[in-house]
Amino acid sequence: MARDPHDFGGVSIPFVTELGFRLTLFEGGESVIEYEPRPEHMNSFSVAHGGAVMTLLDVGMATAARSVEQDMGIVTIEMKTSFMRPSTGLLLCKSRLMHRTATMAFVESRVLDAREQLCAHATGTFKYVKRQPASGPSANALGVISTD
């Protein structure tokens, strides 16, 4: 059965939905997310804004870490990002869990363009946390639980 690409492992992330990220792999400490930046996601050079690319890297790493601990939420503790070239066209974010402890995950992520050129790379440290009911009117109406 094909997975819903807008389902991020059972969590609702409205910002990610708004950006149009599509999760295509979520298992065994790995994740793959596709992202086609829209015009409103561009910077003044007409390439994907660095903030959108950093969000892609962050979500990719968090998703890879959660793929081995799906009942937990995860929060970013720190993240280091390097940009190698402009991010244009369809982007692919490939992330993998490098190491984990009972409460922490150490993850890396790469953003590749359609020609499989490396556009950006990040490493991050994440903390596993118990999921709490999300706040806000839309979360309560939907019964959403999330910490991502």
Please report, for the domain that includes residue 34, its CATH number: 3.10.129.10
The domain total for the chain is 1
Whether 21 maps to a domain, the answer reads yes
Phi (first) and psi of residue 6, to 5 degrees: -95, 0
Number of Cβ within 10 Å of residue 33's Cβ equals 26
Q: Decide: residue 114, CB within 10 A, 0-12 exposed, 13-18 middle, 19+ buried.
A: exposed
Tell me what pLDDT residue 131 has.
83
Q: What is the pLDDT of residues 125-143, one digit of tens each?
A: 999 999 876 665 555 444 4
Whether 147 maps to a domain, the answer reads no
Whether 19 maps to a domain, the answer reads yes
pTM as predicted: 0.87
Ranges of residues in the chain with a pLDDT under 50 are: 1, 140-147
Angle (CA) 28 11 94, round 5°: 40
d(CA 111, CA 72): 25
Structural domain span for residue 103: 14-142
Number of Cβ within 10 Å of residue 89's Cβ equals 12
Tell me what pLDDT residue 12 has.
80
